[in-house]
Amino acid sequence: MPGFELFGEKERESVNDVLDSGVLMRYGFDGMRQGHWKAKELEKALTTRMQVKYAQVVSSGTAALTVALASAGVGAGDEVIMPTFTFVASFEAVLAIGAVPVLVDVDDTLTLNPDSVEKAVTEKTKVVMPVHMCGSMADLKRLKAICDNHNLLLIEDACQAIGGSYEGKPLGSYGDIGCFSFDYVKTITCGEGGALITDNEKYYTNADHYSDHGHDHIGNNRGAESHPFLGYNYRISELNAAVGCAQIQRLDEFLNTQKRHYSILRNSLEEIEGVTFRRVPDNGVENYSFLSFFLPSGDLARKIHSSLTNGGVDACFYWFDNNWHYYRKWEHLTNLKSLGKLPQEVRNQLPDYSASDFSLSDKWVGKTISCLIKLSWSEEEVKARALKMKEIIGSLL
């Protein structure tokens, strides 16, 4: 990760197909296309790879989450349970449709704590949205049981975990809807892009219409299409989709490389007393895009992270102090800083996050360091990195 590290001839050829046709929009201009429909091609590849009936590609992972929620009928005043450790896009998508993000703790998987989810369910809860951060998944079996018991939707934010699996099912396909990001720093990239997948025909049809101003896409005259309901513009361009078409063909290549590099680093760190690793739920396979490990305390984690950085070991993250991925720095959410007036339901129902107790999350995230696994490393570079990390961490424990 990320896929841009290995751009090559497949990506260039696919993009040139679009440039040669001159049609950069995913809809219409049938006669000019020379048979190239890159967004449709990417959707077909996704349904095959993710073992689902339907896929809708859109302009970003944030768009995928927004469209997924709207397509499932989530709206003003509905509560969406999500983790304290995620990217801000997760709660932005919830707020964009007037729904209410309800943060709950994570556990040693660094994803949603099922016990905390159960306690957070109210009569207004509509969705449980696990976020498979840093390439590994939540305890989906337990979360699905909670959803089934309370008649809730399970929507997977798998934006950082494409290629992982749970109980033999690709991540994103276990819940009612799954979402992916194909932005510039994901395992496979479109430059900018995203997708949602589902086996539910209604949700797919809604997503198809909603992401294109409500167009019903019936017939071959775009100007004559009907608009059964309000929609917005979350379309992907053919240029972006073209990059994705090439990259998804290479997903297994990327995953194998990530696993190989991950294993070298992990085998080295496993020899250090005091280092432990995030829990991957039983029957789960991560996508190996990050190696996340725990130190004995938050103070040690912060000190070791600083030493790794100063020692030239780049791409290691201490999420506890991160501005974008952990609740502690989300002042714009806590204080509802918005350019426009937010729905009254949000103002009335949003918990007071300035007073929330997320000590269970702090316990785990506070002592976590995550190392990005790069595709472009040579084996010699990975081994040298493993040795340096082992030396630095070992000297401080």
Is the per-residue pLDDT at 316 higher than 90?
Answer: yes
Is the per-residue pLDDT at 1 higher than 90?
Answer: no
Q: What is the pLDDT of residue 225?
A: 97
Q: What is the pLDDT of residue 214?
A: 98
Whether 186 is catalytic: yes
Q: What is the pLDDT of residue 377?
A: 97
Q: What is the mean pLDDT of the chain?
A: 97
Q: What is the pLDDT of residue 343?
A: 95
Cβ within 8 Å of residue 96, ≥6 positions away: 66
Percentage, residues of the chain above pLDDT 70? 100
Confidence tier at 168 by pLDDT (50, 70, 90): very high
Confidence tier at 330 by pLDDT (50, 70, 90): very high
Of the chain, the end-to-end C-alpha distance in Å amounts to 29
Is the per-residue pLDDT at 308 higher than 90?
Answer: yes
Q: What is the pLDDT of residue 8?
A: 96
Over residues 361-369, the mean pLDDT reads 98
- Ranking 17-21, 30-34, 193-197, 214-218 by mean pLDDT, the lowest is 30-34
Percentage, residues of the chain above pLDDT 90? 99
Over residues 69-86, the mean pLDDT reads 98
Q: Which CATH class is domain 3-249?
A: alpha beta
Which CATH number is associated with domain 252-396?
3.90.1150.10
Over residues 280-297, the mean pLDDT reads 98
Q: Tell me how crowded residue 376 is: count the other CB atoms within 10 A of its CB.
A: 11
Q: What is the pLDDT of residue 109?
A: 98
Confidence tier at 135 by pLDDT (50, 70, 90): very high
Is the per-residue pLDDT at 196 higher than 90?
Answer: yes
pLDDT in tens, 39-75: 999 999 999 999 999 999 999 999 999 999 999 999 9
Q: Domain segments of the chain: what residues?
A: 3-249, 252-396
- The catalytically annotated residue of 126, 144, 186, 367 is 186
Structure tokens at 136: 């590994």
